[in-house]
Amino acid sequence: MTTLTTPQRDFGLTGEQTDGDIRALSFSTPNLPVRVFQNGGHVEIGSRAIVVNPGVTPVPFYPSGLRDHIAPLGAAFLREVSLRSDTTLVTLALDRLSAPADLCSAPGWRRLDTLPGMASVSGAAGLPLFRSPRDRVTTIQATPDRLAPTLPPGPPQCWGVFMNLWFAPAGTACLIHNSHPFLEYHVQISGDGAMQKFRRNDLSTLYENQYLAPGAAHGIYAVQPAGDGSFLYPWHQYVARTDCLWLAVELVPEGPAPRPQTSDTHTGQCCHH
């Protein structure tokens, strides 16, 4: 297995603005405000924003009087709409995001080969791939096969939802790998990128090229339990076709859901965050 991962201990919050159930995530900046609305409620979207739904139920909205929705574990690029939700939402306001590369100089951003355990990974040295601080967003409750149909069914579990940003300049191939200690999917924030899948750890065995435009999210891949608590993925890598900024959403298994359930079984939100 080849693992391209992020350290599990890097969960610290920065103590940024907290306003009731609204909080700025640790990688939020004036040029890219990123906020989590823990209990949904009424969320007004401005002229350009990407809204991420980390929950397992759709988030409806009515832009034309007809019902539309943000898919579970999905995202949408929206403008001038109002959302009402009883689940967690994350918004990334894009109005002032003119030079995504500048984010890499914000506090807590690091180049891949400076992250713990990554210096010795083949191909990582000097690779212009940068990661923001990582933040815990919420906890969801779901059976494994609801998140990834290739996983065996089982009782509901709690999954910690963590997010961080990545940036790579145009032309960067971000290393083929096939293992993570979490379930993951990505949301494109700016630029023109792609997720690629391979039969083996070999660029010549490419079999799928999934293009990602801003607001697009790919589903959780067909993963299998690796037997050591991690997950075995198809060989894959992210490729930045232009300067690219994308959001990684990581679902970390945290044990059985509490019984009896005191959570909202309709939304899938756990009783703790």
Closest among 109, 84, 117 to 267, alpha carbons compared? 84
Q: What is the average per-residue pLDDT within 152-164?
A: 96
Q: What is the average per-residue pLDDT within 20-41?
A: 89
Superfamily of chain region 21-93: Jelly Rolls (2.60.120.10)
What pLDDT score does 40 carry? 63
What pLDDT score does 83 carry? 87
CATH 2.60.120.10 residue spans of the chain? 21-93
Cα dihedral 142/146/152/155 (nearest 10): 30
What pLDDT score does 231 carry? 96
pLDDT band of 116, cuts 50, 70, 90: very high
Residues 52, 44: Cα–Cα separation, whole Å = 14
Mean pLDDT, all residues of the chain: 88
Residues 3, 116: Cα–Cα separation, whole Å = 13
Q: Is the pLDDT of residue 195 over 70?
A: yes
What pLDDT score does 65 carry? 82
What pLDDT score does 270 carry? 52
What pLDDT score does 86 carry? 83
Q: What is the average per-residue pLDDT within 78-94?
A: 90
Are 130 and 110 spatial neighbours (Cβ–Cβ below 8 Å)? yes
Mean pLDDT check: name the lowest of 2-16, 71-85, 157-171. Answer: 2-16
CATH 2.60.120.990 residue spans of the chain? 100-256
- Give 177 or 20, the one with higher predicted confidence: 177
Q: Do you find a cis peptide bond into 260, omega within 30 degrees of 0? A: yes
What pLDDT score does 66 carry? 85
Burial 141-158 (b: 16+ CB within 10 A, else e): bbebebbbeebeeeebbb
In this structure, CATH architecture of domain 100-256: Sandwich (2.60)
pLDDT digit string, tens, across residues 39-71: 767 888 888 999 999 999 999 888 888 889 999
- Give 172 or 15, the one with higher predicted confidence: 172
Mean pLDDT check: name the lowest of 38-42, 62-66, 108-112, 142-146. Answer: 38-42
Are 170 and 219 spatial neighbours (Cβ–Cβ below 8 Å)? no
| Contacts for 42 with CB less than 8 Å, ≥ 6 apart | 82, 83, 84
Q: Contacts for 3-7 with beta carbons within 8 Å, 24 or more apart?
A: 3/177, 3/178, 3/179, 3/180, 3/181, 3/230, 4/121, 4/174, 4/175, 4/177, 4/180, 5/117, 5/179, 5/180, 5/181, 6/115, 6/131, 6/134, 6/164, 6/248, 6/250, 7/115, 7/116, 7/117
Q: Is the pLDDT of residue 261 over 60?
A: no
Q: What is the average per-residue pLDDT within 9-29?
A: 60
Residues 171, 166: Cα–Cα separation, whole Å = 15
pLDDT digit string, tens, across residues 122-134: 999 999 999 999 9
